[in-house]
Structure 1
Amino acid sequence: MNVSSYIDAVLITYSNYYINFKSISKPNFDLVCKHIVPDRVIGLILSNDEDTPGLAELFLTYFQINQFTHLQSLTLIDIGPQLWENIIQNMVELKNLRSFFYTQPSRINPWISDIIGNDLDQLDSHLFDIYSPILPQLCRLRLTHGDFLSSIQFPQLQHLILERSSVDIVKHISSVAAQLKSLQTKFILNNSTTKFIYPSTQLKRLALEIEGQFLKILNHRYNKRIFSQWSTMANDSTASCHIQFHV
């Protein structure tokens, strides 16, 4: 049996499958794409990083995201604006989508270095306006920042990662995401009088990276001024909390 026949056999055997296109060679990528049945794919990772340059563009010559009608999980890695709009305009049609991760590598993206100031902010805002309608249906979400989340309700959200955020955004998320179980983010405190409303008590994992001088935590049950005392969450042996300060 040749490789093509083997892939056909595998894809026919399983009614649903998860496809990870990170760190795949171009010949294998082409081979897999030719055998994919879009409505059987429930998980998809698309990467345009230094290991797989140009493959996301190539993928979009084979498919549009809205063809994956049963897609539950979508991860985009280092996808620039020339592809973002195409993907997210179709992504909002995915009614079964429950997990959306967007990540960037630590290196500076070439497309970011070409866009500065207000142009980047306007692009960011424009893209958010397109994909924001899908956010309330998500259970898992990862974004590079939370700048535009203050107007969004999250009735289903259970796990959230924001690579950059603010106290106000964390407050908002805490107030509208009643099912939130894990939260990971980073923010800067420039005001020594800032009061941080302790995130919801149903949290099982909290990871904060904080830059600033001082933080006062207020909890609706306890008023604590230091991180060594953790109220409800600290008394739960299944919970975890990790705080890093950068002064």
Structure 2
Amino acid sequence: MANKIWFFDRLPVDLLYDIFDYFLAHDILLSFSNVSDRVDGVLRTYSFYRFDFKSISKDNFDLICRHIKPDQVISLVLSDASATPGQSELFLSRISIKQFTRLQSLTLYCIENETLELILLDLNKLDQLRSFHINSVTTKSPLRIYDYSPLINQVTPLLSKTLSQVLPKLHRLNIGQKFIATRTPLLVNLRSLALAQSTINELQMILIQTPHLRSLDVCLEGDTSNIELLDTPSQLKWLILTINGNYFLTNRY
């Protein structure tokens, strides 16, 4: 065992970074901390950590918050669903979202209203953000029923304002909310879009404003009798439509 540890300790820093890329933050800390002083030093300089708090123990949550600085993180998943209630409030009591200066991807599951507002207010300060996913599904537990859809409706004005500020730089957007296409500029960077609600007319406007969109997953509502008139651009390679509970997939690859 000593020889194996010695060998790992001698690996080049870039190779250690490549190994860490395959693990989430808590797995890295649990697997590689205290191997040697040199490896501990590499852990302190690694700046591509991915936090996934959707299902995590309190001990691992505390471990991450104690040992990793926010400017070392590129991906963050927060959740207030039944497995991790109140997590986002606890997390933001320790670290402000605007401290994640290198954050590229942010995913929010069933975030409670007050903390969701705090996150949205600072979202435009994340200059490196390229992917944003907000999920408001209803979840159940034996003790409580969580229906987060009304919370999304309550913060719709703030959400719309925030999206108008961050959309031009996003490559991926997944949102359980209407997409206010008429209020956004030409979105030349957007490559992937998933929407929980849209009408045919709104969808056509979205396609006009996203000239490089390659993947679209959308649930259509309202009158869809004229869907055959929908003009799908040639660069759109992956199209998923849900219409009245029916699922349609088009793959142009």
Tell me the TM-score normalised to structure 2 length.
Answer: 0.74
Match of 1:184 among 205, 210, 217: 217
Q: Which amino acid aligns with 1:6?
A: S
Gaps of 5+ in 2: 1-28, 140-144
2:75 and 2:103 in contact (8 A); partners too:
yes
Show the counterpart of 1:168. Answer: 201
- Is residue 2:141 matched to residue 1:109? no
Distance 1:46 1:31 in 2: 16
Gaps of 5+ in 1: 213-226, 239-247
For 1:23-172, list aligned pairs within 5 A.
23-107=55-139, 109-110=146-147, 112=149, 121=153, 123-153=155-185, 154-172=187-205
Alpha carbons of 1:190 and 1:3: their partners in 2 closer, same or farther (altered >3 Å)? Answer: closer
Distance 2:224 2:235 in 1: 28
TM-superposition CA deviations, 1:41-94 (whole Å, max 9, x none): 111111111111111111001111110101111111111221111001111101
Q: Which amino acid aligns with 2:127?
A: K
Match of 1:6 among 29, 33, 40: 33
Match of 2:236 among 170, 182, 203: 203
TM-superposition CA deviations, 1:14-51 (whole Å, max 9, x none): 23211111110112111211112111111111111111
Alpha carbons of 1:81 and 1:148: their partners in 2 closer, same or farther (altered >3 Å)? Answer: farther
TM-superposition CA deviations, 1:90-114 (whole Å, max 9, x none): 111011100001112343634556x
Alpha carbons of 1:76 and 1:191: their partners in 2 closer, same or farther (altered >3 Å)? Answer: closer
2:216 and 2:238 in contact (8 A); partners too:
yes
TM-superposition CA deviations, 1:201-223 (whole Å, max 9, x none): 101100001129xxxxxxxxxxx
**In the TM superposition, what is the alpha-carbon distance from 1:11 to its structure 2 partner?**
3.3
What's the secondary structure of 2:193's corresponding residue?
strand
Count of matched residue positions in the alignment of Structure 1 and Structure 2? 213
**In the TM superposition, what is the alpha-carbon distance from 1:189 to its structure 2 partner?**
3.7
2:129 and 2:169 in contact (8 A); partners too:
yes
CA RMSD across the alignment:
3.0
TM-superposition CA deviations, 1:191-242 (whole Å, max 9, x none): 6456642221101100001129xxxxxxxxxxxxxx9xx9xx87x4x1xxxx
**In the TM superposition, what is the alpha-carbon distance from 1:177 to its structure 2 partner?**
0.7
Distance 2:219 2:196 in 1: 6
Distance 1:102 1:185 in 2: 14
Higher relative helix content: 2
Distance 2:172 2:71 in 1: 21
Show the counterpart of 2:142. Answer: none
Distance 2:224 2:54 in 1: 41
Quote the sequence identity (%). Answer: 37
Distance 1:207 1:3 in 2: 39
**In the TM superposition, what is the alpha-carbon distance from 1:142 to its structure 2 partner?**
0.4
What's the secondary structure of 2:234's corresponding residue?
coil
